[in-house]
Amino acid sequence: MTMQNDYLENTFGLGGKCALITGSSQGIGFALALGLARAGAAVVLNGRNETKVQHARDEILAVLPNASVHALCFDVTDHEAARKAVDNFELSEGPIDILVNNAGMQHRSPLEDFPAERFEALLRTNVSSVFNVGQAVARYMIGRGRGKIINICSVQTALARPGIAPYTATKGAVANLTKGMATDWAKHGLQCNAIAPGYFETPLNAALVADPEFTSWLQKRTPAGRWGKVEELVGACIFLSSDASSFVNGHVLFVDGAISASL
Ligand code: NDP
């Protein structure tokens, strides 16, 4: 029994590791931060709103009083701000072993009316952010010869839906950027992978959750027959953060109740 526990701890445990999760003041990012903290990692929360990030920190500490929970507020679309925040953290607190590029946004509108400014904002928030924070953290990981980067894609990485063409484009780009990261950085000991969530109840999806017609469509369209619960993304994230995935690189792991597997 002890040997089994040691094996699991050595393979999947995250004790002694530190994980930065962007956009973790709510929704999927918060659930992943809590899950990684439960697996033993120190976690670094991020978002633009300091009050929300502090509240998220308090929530994790209320559940896990002994957890190490940091707050690092910066805008992921700002290349310089991301670099400075990561530099300061690495110098003052220590290495970031795991990066989860989760921060993202959505805007729904028919493509013919889609505001150009929102298109640019989607590119900056969903794609440039992955480059900005990924490069800032990878420079340290490369020096150490190890590190884990997990980018949050979407079922829209593989499939389009009406009214969200630009979001679909950004999530396709994140999948290809993940492959590029793995291609450039595997030789430095980094594993760069992605998780593609299906439909999960979060503030980002509040309009869809509130729409009974959408929920009814989703229940029929998803073979699992329901919305995902954010905790159901944690196992994939622990796997991709741990030694268990030491030869998994450039992979996009769909966690979507089989929606992307079926017509
Ligand atoms: P939410 O809108 O609930 O949360 C987004 C988080 O990102 C917040 O903490 C927000 O905090 C932060 N954020 C947004 N913009 C920035 C920025 N420029 N800089 C720093 N932080 C930022 O989203 P979800 O939890 O639903 O989604 C998280 C990720 O998962 C996104 O990449 C999304 O595309 C993806 N996804 C979600 C799915 C779902 O069903 N919910 C399905 C598939 C993918 P603040 O605004 O205070 O900065």
* Residue 141: how many other CB atoms lie within 10 Å: 24
The CATH classification number of 2-257 equals 3.40.50.720
Q: Which of 52, 53, 202, 255 to mutate to test the pocket of ligand 1 (most atoms within 8 A of CB)?
A: 202
* Residue 85: how many other CB atoms lie within 10 Å: 21
Catalytic residues: 167
Q: Does position 36 have pLDDT exceeding 70, yes or no?
A: yes
* 205-241 tens-digit pLDDT: 899 989 999 999 999 999 999 999 999 999 999 999 9
Q: What is the pLDDT of residue 200?
A: 96
User: In whole angstroms, what is the distance from residue 49 CA to residue 12 CA?
Assistant: 32
- How would residue 1 be classed by pLDDT, with cut points 50, 70 and 90? low
Nearest to 151 by CA among 246, 53, 240: 240
**71 sits in which H/E element:** strand 69-71
pTM, rounded to two decimals: 0.98
Residue 124 CA from chain centroid, whole number: 16
Written as six digits, the tokens of 198 are 């299906």
Amino acid making up residue 249:
N
Q: What are the sequence ranges of the domains in the chain?
A: 2-257
Mean pLDDT (the chain) is: 97
Distance in Å, CA 104 to ligand 1 centroid? 4
Distance in Å, CA 140 to ligand 1 centroid? 25
Which residue's CA is minimally distant from atom 6 of ligand 1? 23
Which residues have any ligand 1 atom within 6 Å of their CB? 22-23, 25-29, 46-49, 52, 75-77, 102-105, 125, 152, 154, 197, 199-200, 202-205
**Measured CA angle at 21 (ends 18, 25), to 5 deg:** 125
